[in-house]
């Protein structure tokens, strides 16, 4: 059971931009219970993976409620990097978004614009994300816009060779709070480049240095936090850490218990 009191999930953006260490994991199962369990034990956030799992809008809505009930921030890795996709998850109650394959400064500017009211192009509407009008307060609709912009966390993924070429311009874009080092796809993208190219480690270092130089938070995933890789990511400056995913947690735990069972039945 997580200790009380928990940070308010709507303070998640403040925590990220202050580079407070926060821990989350990817959620593949399209049901709320794993999110509730992780919130209960104290994870700071969950990354509901719409890109690589069959989440529907309705299922995501239920997962937001599960996250809210147990004090964890619900972020969605959107499957489509467009204004409509970002609007729907934020209106429905997500604390923030993560957008794949941001490989140009213009894409970064678009993501920031679609996610913000003031200075952006997010469509005006108040539903669950705005407490059905309860978040409006005495400042009226303009006060709501300012509040919503202040609590919405925006993360862009650096996972393409082209992004490394444009990294300084991308990471300087205002309105992006953190950049995620997508090392799997970045390695694949680099392998497809013809001619001279950095190694994956070199590209990750180039990206990380640019992110931190431009005052943004750095994010990454490590399958195990008890590893040299996790230590290397921490030393690189990663403060938004993800570990594995709910499917992997279940598989590893189940495999371990199966091994224990076989040992037990052999009498060893």
User: Alpha-carbon Rg of the chain, whole angstroms?
Assistant: 19
**Is 52 part of the annotated catalytic residue set?**
yes
Contacts of residue 214, defined as CB under 8 A and 6 or more positions apart, other chains included, come to 168, 171, 172
**Among 8, 52, 119, 215, the one annotated catalytic:** 52
Give the catalytic positions in this structure. 52
């Amino acid at each position: 059971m997580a200790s009380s009191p928990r940070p308010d999930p709507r303070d998640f953006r403040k925590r990220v931009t202050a580079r407070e260490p926060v821990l989350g994991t990817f959620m593949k199962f399209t049901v709320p219970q794993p999110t509730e369990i992780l919130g209960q034990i104290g994870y700071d956030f969950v990354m509901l993976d719409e890109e690589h799992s069959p989440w529907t809008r309705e299922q995501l809505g239920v997962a937001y409620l599960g996250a809210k009930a147990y004090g964890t921030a619900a972020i969605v890795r959107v499957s489509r990097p467009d204004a409509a996709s970002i609007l729907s998850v934020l209106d429905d109650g997500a604390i923030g978004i993560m957008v794949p394959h941001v490989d140009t400064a213009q894409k970064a500017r678009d993501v920031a614009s679609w996610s913000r009211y003031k200075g952006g192009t997010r469509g005006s509407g108040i539903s669950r994300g705005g407490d059905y009008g309860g978040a409006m307060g005495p400042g009226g609709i303009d006060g709501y816009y300012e509040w919503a912009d202040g609590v919405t966390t925006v993360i862009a993924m650096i996972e393409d060779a082209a992004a490394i070429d444009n990294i300084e311009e991308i990471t300087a874009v205002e309105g992006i709070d953190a950049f995620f080092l997508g090392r799997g796809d970045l390695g694949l993208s680099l392998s497809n480049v013809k001619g001279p190219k950095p190694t994956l480690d070199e590209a990750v270092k180039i990206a990380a240095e640019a992110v931190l130089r431009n005052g943004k938070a750095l994010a990454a995933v490590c399958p195990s936090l008890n590893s040299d890789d996790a230590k290397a990511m921490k030393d690189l400056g990663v403060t938004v850490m993800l570990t594995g995913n709910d499917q992997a947690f279940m598989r590893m735990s189940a495999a371990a218990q199966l091994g224990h069972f076989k040992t037990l039945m052999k009498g060893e």
